[in-house]
Structure 1
Amino acid sequence: MAYPASVSVETPDRVANWRPLVHWLLLIPHLIIFEVLQNVAWLLNVVGWVAIVFTGKLPKGLADFQSMYLRYSIRLYAYFDFLHEQYPPFAFDMTSADPGGTPVSAGLEPQLTNRNRLTVAFRLILAIPAAVFVVVTGLITTVLVVLGFFAVLFTGRWPAGMRGWVVSWHGVSLRFNAYLHLLTDQYPPFSLDA
């Protein structure tokens, strides 16, 4: 993989028409867990930041937790966007490798050693241009998901181009979050195709 974070989503040709109406309801238990994991991930991000700035290394346990959190979140988002029908598992495998078993695969390769302390020290500032790219493409994605809602509701199918954009944007989001959560020093590309 060119970037140390990638997403693939196995999207079916047809999705049950009723799915867009209830996906958000089915995710309520996951969203509660996600909120807790998100808060822990940000706290551990501070710990990881201190560790990298002072030692040049990211502890494996922190990298594994951040990988689990990012994998869990990308699975929830893909399900919420009704890109597939398989309910996301309550899986909290503390490894950087994706254990599989779901239509969403998040490949993450955390960089544990030889970290660039300077870019980590100023990570929040350096991430601003990438954040702007994620937000702008995310707004377009939101519009496409709303249009996809009606397309699936009435036809049971995502238009291929729209679905491709949404799946690609999930990759953009994962790459940005891998950078922001200190899993890599490689700057996320300004591309949907990376």
Structure 2
Amino acid sequence: MNPDTPAAEALPPATGPVRLRGDLDEQLSRWLWLVKWLLAIPHYLILILLWIGFLLLTIVAFFAILITGAYPRAIFDINVGIMRWSWRVMFYSYNALGTDRYPPFSLHPDDNYPADLAIDYPERLSRGLVLVKWWLLAIPHYLVLMAMTSGAVMIDLESDYFNFVPPLIDVLVLIAAIALLFTARYPRGVFDFVLGINRWAYRVAAYAALMRDEYPPFRLDQGAREPAL
């Protein structure tokens, strides 16, 4: 090896096939989070329609994989775009509150926006796994994610008492919102944890949507960028 050759560590680190990025804005408004639910309504309305399309296209992809062992590239790109759009809106709004920059109305990648999502296209997929990975194999992940993102209701039948336990991610984002309101700073540890939950969820979503055969790791990879493998 030539000693003048740049070190291998200068190359981009290897990462997995599903990569979620969310760069925290250094300057965030103290109060804008109070109205982001309103500002994001146009995105929510469009995303409802897009996710209906996502479901229908995934059904088409299911049969295509079952017959040919390949995910149709055009459908793959559209579905990744829908997931990317969703992540940008969630990063802006109440899954992270990580930026005050309004999300673009776009399915395409954008290196200039602080949030993005990329999924490597698989040349071949298992015809057998397509039958079970989206429901049976993904169940352990669904249970973990439900605990972090869905909350729970505890009921005492004898006393008719019930108590709602809010989702962990909602509690973390609320802590961040209160911190922003009073200090104009987003606690970095909270942000990293929130990104870890979202990263886990999108990896499982890509697997369940038949986009990859690699089983998602049971790992909370925290921080703005994907860790090196």
Structure number with larger C-alpha Rg: 2
Q: Could you tell me which amino acid in structure 2 is paired with residue 71 of structure 1?
A: R
Identity across matched positions, percent: 31
Tell me how far apart the structure 2 counterparts of residues 180 and 56 of structure 1 sit (CA, whole Å).
16
Higher relative contact order at CA 8 Å, sep ≥6: structure 1 or structure 2?
1
Q: TM-score, normalised by structure 1?
A: 0.92
Return 5+ residue gaps in structure 2 as ranges. Answer: 1-13, 150-166, 222-226
Return 5+ residue gaps in structure 1 as ranges. Answer: none
Other-structure match for 1:121: 131
SS at the partner of 2:35? helix
Tell me how far apart the structure 1 counterparts of residues 59 and 116 of structure 2 sit (CA, whole Å).
27
Q: Could you tell me which amino acid in structure 1 is paired with residue 112 of structure 2?
A: G
Tell me how far apart the structure 2 counterparts of residues 83 and 35 of structure 1 sit (CA, whole Å).
22
Off by >3 Å, runs of 4+ in structure 1: none
Q: Does 1:82 align with 2:93?
A: no
Q: TM-score, normalised by structure 2?
A: 0.78
Tell me how far apart the structure 1 counterparts of residues 61 and 171 of structure 2 sit (CA, whole Å).
35
Q: Is the 8 A contact 1:133 1:190 kept in 2?
A: no
Number of aligned residue pairs: 189
Q: Could you tell me which amino acid in structure 1 is paired with residue 183 of structure 2?
A: T
Other-structure match for 2:68: 55
SS at the partner of 1:189? coil
Q: Could you tell me which amino acid in structure 2 is paired with residue 83 of structure 1?
A: G
Shift of 1:13: 2.9
Tell me how far apart the structure 2 counterparts of residues 42 and 130 of structure 1 sit (CA, whole Å).
20
Q: Describe the shift of the 1:110–1:133 C-alpha distance in structure 2 as closer, same or farther (beyond 3 A).
A: farther
Shift of 1:134: 1.9
Which residue among 137, 151, 156 is the counterpart of 2:184? Answer: 156
SS at the partner of 1:44? helix
Shift of 1:77: 0.6
Other-structure match for 2:160: none
Other-structure match for 2:107: 92
Other-structure match for 1:46: 59
Other-structure match for 2:212: 184
Shift of 1:102: 0.6
Q: Could you tell me which amino acid in structure 2 is paired with residue 127 of structure 1?
A: A
Q: Is the 8 A contact 1:37 1:69 kept in 2?
A: yes
Other-structure match for 2:163: none
Decide which structure has greater helix share: 1
Q: Could you tell me which amino acid in structure 1 is paired with residue 132 of structure 2?
A: F
Tell me how far apart the structure 2 counterparts of residues 12 and 22 of structure 1 sit (CA, whole Å).
18
Shift of 1:22: 0.9
Shift of 1:136: 2.0
Tell me how far apart the structure 2 counterparts of residues 164 and 110 of structure 1 sit (CA, whole Å).
27
SS at the partner of 2:220? coil
Shift of 1:107: 2.1
Tell me how far apart the structure 2 counterparts of residues 87 and 57 of structure 1 sit (CA, whole Å).
36
SS at the partner of 1:16? coil
Q: Is the 8 A contact 1:144 1:162 kept in 2?
A: yes
